[in-house]
């Protein structure tokens, strides 16, 4: 990923494993280290350690009201809140949206949980994806069209063609669809995947340790390449 010295990175981790054993945390940390070595703008958010509150009925009500106006500038939304609960929801949401908009690149560490993404990450996605938040109210274009997104994914098993679980990966396709819908362009969206991370632990995966090591080595190399461009 080519980037200039003035770019900023929002690094978000979502593994419930807060230790260095977490594969996604190891990989995102090495990306961030390389980035920070040359960049001066960096923000970190850990949605597992500090969960983003689930959206509430007031969030949904405010969102529906805003949608009826079309796409609104963010600074016009607070005035549409009709209750204290709606004001609180917006106060929780706006800084998270601004954090994304301020970033030139998003780095997301995402384990597979039950074929999909962790609930902690989904809570963040639901909240920041407020109606119109990433659309330019004047042009209708996505405000994320130039944003680079690096998805660092890990999963305990294997999901490639020919495996029993092929077709059960709702992690990578979901995230690709989500960021695509927000207007992130395909060329700016990179995925790095480490598979079979539990090969050393789960008896059913015994014998797959070499494949797991190869997958991790490939993921490490891909992260290094993306971080330094
Ligand atoms: C709650 C939970 C659900 C999981 N579900 C799956 C799953 O559906 N498929 C899978 O291959 N691995 C699953 N795993 C294993 C993780 O994807 C794997 O351990 C991965 O390395 C976790 O990322 P981390 O190392 O960054 O914590 C699950 C782990 C946890 C804790």
Mean of the per-residue pLDDT values of the chain: 95
pLDDT in tens, 64-109: 999 999 999 999 999 999 999 999 999 999 999 999 999 999 999 9
pLDDT of 3 over the 60 cut? no
Residue nearest atom 12 in ligand 1 by C-alpha distance: 156
Q: Mutate which of 13, 46, 114, 164 to test ligand 1's pocket (most atoms within 8 Å of Cβ)?
A: 114
Q: Are 118 and 48 in contact (CB under 8 A)?
A: yes
Q: Which atom of ligand 1 is nearest to the CA of 114?
A: 8
* 126's tokens: 């639901």
Nearest CA to ligand 1 atom 3: 113
End-to-end CA distance of the chain: 4
Average pLDDT over residues 200-208: 93
What pLDDT score was predicted for residue 24? 98
User: Is residue 176 scored above 60 in pLDDT?
Assistant: yes
1 has a pLDDT exceeding 80: no
DSSP 8-state code for residue 92: H
Q: Which residue is it, tokens 């909240």?
A: 127
Ligand 1 binding residues, C-beta < 6 A: 15-17, 22-25, 111-115, 154-157, 197-198
**Between 121 and 38, the higher pLDDT residue:** 121
Q: What is the DSSP string of 208-225?
A: -HHHHHHHHHHHHHHHHH
Residue nearest ligand 1's atom 28 by CA: 113
Categorize the per-residue pLDDT at 35 as very low, low, confident or very high, splitting at 50, 70 and 90: confident
Average pLDDT, integer, range 132-149: 97
Of 4 and 177, the structure prediction assigns the larger pLDDT to 177
Cα(22) to centroid of ligand 1, in Å? 10
Domain boundaries defined on the chain: 8-228
Radius of gyration of the chain from its Cα atoms, rounded to whole angstroms? 19
- Rounded to whole angstroms, the Cα distance separating 200 from 90 reads 45
DSSP letter for each residue of 129-166: --TTTTB-TTT--BTTTT-EEEEEEE-SS--STTSTTT
- Assigned CATH topology for domain 8-228: Rossmann fold (3.40.50)
């Amino acid at each position: 990923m080519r980037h200039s010295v003035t770019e900023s990175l929002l690094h978000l981790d979502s593994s419930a494993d807060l230790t260095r054993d977490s594969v996604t945390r190891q990989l995102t940390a090495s990306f961030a280290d390389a980035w920070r070595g040359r960049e001066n703008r960096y923000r970190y958010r850990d949605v597992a350690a500090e969960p983003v509150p689930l959206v509430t009925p007031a969030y949904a009500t405010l969102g529906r009201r805003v949608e009826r106006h079309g796409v609104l500038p963010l600074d016009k939304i607070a005035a549409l809140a009709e209750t204290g609960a709606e004001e609180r929801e917006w106060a929780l949401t706006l800084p998270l949206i601004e954090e994304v908009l301020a970033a030139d690149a998003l780095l997301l560490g995402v384990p597979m949980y039950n074929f999909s993404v962790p609930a902690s990450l989904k809570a963040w996605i639901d909240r920041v994806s407020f109606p119109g938040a990433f659309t330019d109210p004047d042009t209708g274009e996505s405000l994320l069209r130039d944003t680079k997104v690096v998805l660092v994914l890990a999963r305990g098993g294997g999901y490639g063609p020919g495996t029993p679980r092929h077709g059960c990966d709702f992690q990578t396709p979901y995230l690709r669809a989500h960021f695509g819908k927000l207007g992130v362009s395909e060329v700016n969206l990179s995925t790095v995947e480490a598979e079979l991370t539990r090969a050393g632990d789960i008896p059913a995966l015994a014998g797959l340790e070499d494949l797991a090591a190869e997958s991790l080595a490939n993921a490490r190399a891909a992260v290094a390449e993306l971080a330094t461009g």
